[in-house]
With several copies, the nearest count.
Chain A
Amino acid sequence: MGEITLVEAVRLALARAMEEDPHVIVLGEDVGADGGVFRATEGLLQRFGNMRVRDTPLSESAIAGVCVGLAAQGFRPVGEIQFMGFIYPAVDQIVSHASRLRNRTRGRLACPMVLRAPYGGGIHAPEHHSESTEAIFAHVPGLKVVIPSSPSRAYGLLLAAIRDPDPVVFLEPKRIYRAFKEDFADDGSALDLGRCFTLREGDDLTYVTWGAMIMETLAAADDLAEDGIRAEVIDVATLKPLDADTILRSVDKTGRLVIVHEAPLTGGFGAEISARVAEGALASLLAPVRRVTGYDTVMPLPKMEHHYMPSKVRILKAARETMEYA
């Protein structure tokens, strides 16, 4: 593995985007002198000045609303919500405005903004610091929802999100902010939004997942391989708009589907993926679809967190049970 962690990739992408486009503005709580509580914006203030790197008062609704105003004026604001658990006060601005501005003005005003937030659990963080409610945003028409699962994808997808003409909720799996490194060129190349990444090919079973769960899922796929079961692993990456085709093609090939996410089961985005398959690849299914997810309870405080998060063992077990259907 190479040199760059996921959080560094975020910083590189932000710096690159600010470098190439003077309309890119970074704002949020502690993004300036502090460089962000995870250091994702480190050095940007020094480099781009306080008109382009703006520490905000402690006001999430204002952060999102200010982004809407800036975006309508042709800027490309990248707002940071310090943790996803604090995005809820901004939901009104996101749902009622950011996602609709273009549509309600019939294209007169656009809203090319990005709202970044570290998300997910597994790092023994305090209460309210381990949320994964991506499904809420993936339901909202007019938004795009992107979740990178590796440094290179964080870099390429964040650049794409910033350059995108529409609002993007960009959720960064903080559990893997520094979990592993990759080597790639900081050359400004973006990845396409709106397509899945097939991280591992296989004919026997399809794993679909995103964010930090990629790690456990790839590990489970390794274990399955030892038993001669070849699992395909798909990183959804863009939840909205969803690239259902890649998933359907894989299920047509494997006939077995296990979806893995950290958010609670009921109403999680795994349901949407399962529903797409029940509509578009039903005849290919050799076994019931399985979802391995967080439970329908509140993310526990750190002492119990590991009971909540889908583990490799659970992910493996679901696959093995799925394989038992003839």
Chain B
Amino acid sequence: MVLTRTFDEKAVALQRTGRLGTYASSLGQEAVAIGVASAMRPEDVLLPSFREQGAQIWRGVALKEALLYWGGDERGSAFKEQKEDFPVCVPVGTQFPHAAGVAAAFQSRNEKRVAVAVGGDGATSKGDFYEALNVAGAWKLPAVFIINNNQWAISVPRSAQTAAETLAQKAIAAGMPGAQVDGNDVIAVRDAASRAIERARDGGGPSLVEAVSYRLSDHTTADDARRYRDEKEVSAHWKEDPVARLRTYLVSQNAWSKSDEETLIGECVQAVGAAVDEYLSAGVANVGDIFDYLYARCPPDLAHQRDEAVAFARESDDG
């Protein structure tokens, strides 16, 4: 969680100084990402939205890769480690049907693996969310759907998004169990996610977990939440900051000291700093790359266009 937060802070700073693209911070929602990711096994597959960098990093996506992606470079989704995980999904809710497909693959192969898709509260309004849950339910797929309910979809508050009292109850429409959990309590999230994931792994079918957190940041670096959200609401929610809560708990258990904290922060800052250096020195990819990965084999017509683009780039000393 601390690593995620450190990463987020740095990413926002890079964006502010023009060295990263628009960025969606997960400030205040780290417990959802980490609780879920830590409940997964490596061989499970994660299908994240654009706010689950914490989960991605936990699972082995390199910090540098995450920076490349948000910096506008496709190489950031060519994960070296988590080769089967899906990349960041920007069109809201579209990752859920993929999770059903991945889970169907596990089911067809009789593998004890689980597809875990994560989306926001806003994503629960999409047809794709519902179609995916319904298919997963009908086929009893090993899939888990996590809703990171940070209570806002850009400027639309959770209450305006749906008349459903909870998002967890949306599971009922698909005939699967739904659970709501305190998304600022990493232990609770991990517990709820584990139950859902192990249930799916054991052939018990899919389920939905709503983790209730809060978006302490703007929607993205392109957003100014003060236009639509009361600052007081935000400050009130700082009291539930999942990182601080975990520290309080650990301290109360005598399991965490000032020096532990300094060490951890130091390590995180160091790791993020190193990743930023790698990212900034990654250089640009080849122009040809924008053609070379579209199909397994570049069709002749496209190869012709590739030549043209490469030639233009060379002419302008930019290839």
Genuine A/B complex = yes
In chain A, what residue has the closest Cβ to B82? A108
Tell whether, in the assembled complex, residue A54 and residue B127 are in contact, meaning their CB atoms are under 8 Å apart.
no
Give B126-145 as 1s and 0s: 1 = Cβ < 8 Å from A's Cβ atoms: 11100110110011000000
- In the bound assembly, the distance between CA atoms of A142 and B228 in angstroms comes to 38
Given contacts A69-B102, A295-B309, contact A300 B132 (CB under 8 A): no
- Chain B CB within 8 A of A107 CB: yes
In chain B, what residue has the closest Cβ to A71? B101
Tell whether, in the assembled complex, residue B103 and residue A89 are in contact, meaning their CB atoms are under 8 Å apart.
no
User: Shortest distance in angstroms between B228's beta carbon and chain A's nearest beta carbon?
Assistant: 4
- In the assembled complex, which residues on chain B have CB atoms less than 8 Å from the CB atom of A73? 45, 84, 101-102, 105-106
Q: Which of B83, B90, B108, B290 sits near A295, CB closer than 8 Å? A: B290
- In the bound assembly, the distance between CA atoms of A27 and B134 in angstroms comes to 15
User: Shortest distance in angstroms between B299's beta carbon and chain A's nearest beta carbon?
Assistant: 3
- Chain B CB within 8 A of A25 CB: yes
Tell whether, in the assembled complex, residue B78 and residue A296 are in contact, meaning their CB atoms are under 8 Å apart.
no
Given contacts A29-B156, A304-B287, A313-B312, contact A65 B161 (CB under 8 A): no
Tell whether, in the assembled complex, residue A110 and residue B296 are in contact, meaning their CB atoms are under 8 Å apart.
yes
Tell whether, in the assembled complex, residue A65 and residue B22 are in contact, meaning their CB atoms are under 8 Å apart.
no
- In the bound assembly, the distance between CA atoms of A52 and B102 in angstroms comes to 14
Given contacts A34-B155, A72-B84, A72-B86, contact A59 B98 (CB under 8 A): no
Q: Which of A68, A242, A307 sits near B101, CB closer than 8 Å? A: A68
Stretch at the interface among B67-75, B242-250, B253-261: B67-75
Stretch at the interface among B2-10, B33-41, B183-191, B300-308: B300-308
- In the bound assembly, the distance between CA atoms of A59 and B136 in angstroms comes to 12
- In the bound assembly, the distance between CA atoms of A245 and B127 in angstroms comes to 43
- In the bound assembly, the distance between CA atoms of A58 and B126 in angstroms comes to 6
- Chain B CB within 8 A of A64 CB: yes
- Chain B CB within 8 A of A104 CB: yes
Tell whether, in the assembled complex, residue A126 and residue B90 are in contact, meaning their CB atoms are under 8 Å apart.
yes
Q: Which of B21, B105, B135, B293 sits near A302, CB closer than 8 Å? A: B21
User: Shortest distance in angstroms between A127's beta carbon and chain B's nearest beta carbon?
Assistant: 5
- In the bound assembly, the distance between CA atoms of A194 and B300 in angstroms comes to 9
User: Within residues 278 to 300 of chain B, which ones have a CB less than 8 A from any CB in chain A?
Assistant: 284-285, 287, 289-291, 293-297, 299-300
User: Shortest distance in angstroms between A262's beta carbon and chain B's nearest beta carbon?
Assistant: 14
Q: Which of B72, B92, B155 sits near A303, CB closer than 8 Å? A: B72
- Chain B CB within 8 A of A37 CB: yes
Give A76-117 as 1s and 0s: 1 = Cβ < 8 Å from B's Cβ atoms: 010000000110110011001100001111111110000000
Tell whether, in the assembled complex, residue A69 and residue B99 are in contact, meaning their CB atoms are under 8 Å apart.
yes
Tell whether, in the assembled complex, residue B77 and residue A108 are in contact, meaning their CB atoms are under 8 Å apart.
yes
User: Shortest distance in angstroms between B105's beta carbon and chain A's nearest beta carbon?
Assistant: 3
Give A12-51 as 1s and 0s: 1 = Cβ < 8 Å from B's Cβ atoms: 0000000000000100011011110100000000000001
In chain B, what residue has the closest Cβ to A293? B305
Tell whether, in the assembled complex, residue B105 and residue A70 are in contact, meaning their CB atoms are under 8 Å apart.
yes
- In the bound assembly, the distance between CA atoms of A307 and B21 in angstroms comes to 17
Looking at B105, B161, B284, which has the most chain A CB atoms within 10 Å of its CB?
A: B105
- Chain A CB within 8 A of B209 CB: no
Q: Which of B228, B294, B296 sits near A34, CB closer than 8 Å? A: B228
Q: Which of B86, B122, B305 sits near A265, CB closer than 8 Å? A: B305
- Chain A CB within 8 A of B160 CB: yes
User: Shortest distance in angstroms between B88's beta carbon and chain A's nearest beta carbon?
Assistant: 7
Tell whether, in the assembled complex, residue A104 and residue B84 are in contact, meaning their CB atoms are under 8 Å apart.
no
17 pairs from A and B in contact (CB 8 Å cutoff): A30-B155, A34-B154, A57-B135, A62-B97, A62-B131, A65-B98, A88-B91, A92-B128, A96-B94, A105-B77, A107-B293, A108-B77, A241-B299, A241-B302, A302-B21, A306-B318, A307-B290
